[in-house]
Amino acid sequence: MIKANKNKVLIILLGTILISGWFYWFQYRPAKIRRECSRISKDKHGSTSARGYSRYKAGYEVCLHGKGL
């Protein structure tokens, strides 16, 4: 009886860790990288004109690729 409860707790704990890891890797991490790249690119290039926006977008893409997205 006690061993069965330990197995259930272990399975629930491992499932929670796995789901948390997936959420971090596929949702939280990419959002954090996009936010950081947007800030960096906006600080460097701005986006007030069409030319500034194209530089911003190019810098943003380079940053994303540099960080693995």
Task: Decide: pTM greater than 0.85.
Answer: no
List pLDDT tens digits, range 3-54: 778 889 999 999 999 999 999 999 999 999 999 999 999 888 876 677 778 8
Provide the domain count of the chain.
1
Range of the domain at 18: 2-66
- Whole-angstrom Cα distance, residue 60 to residue 46? 11
Where in the chain does DSSP place strands (E)? Answer: none
pLDDT number for residue 21: 97
Which DSSP category does 51 fall into? H
- Residue 1 pLDDT class (50, 70, 90 cuts): low
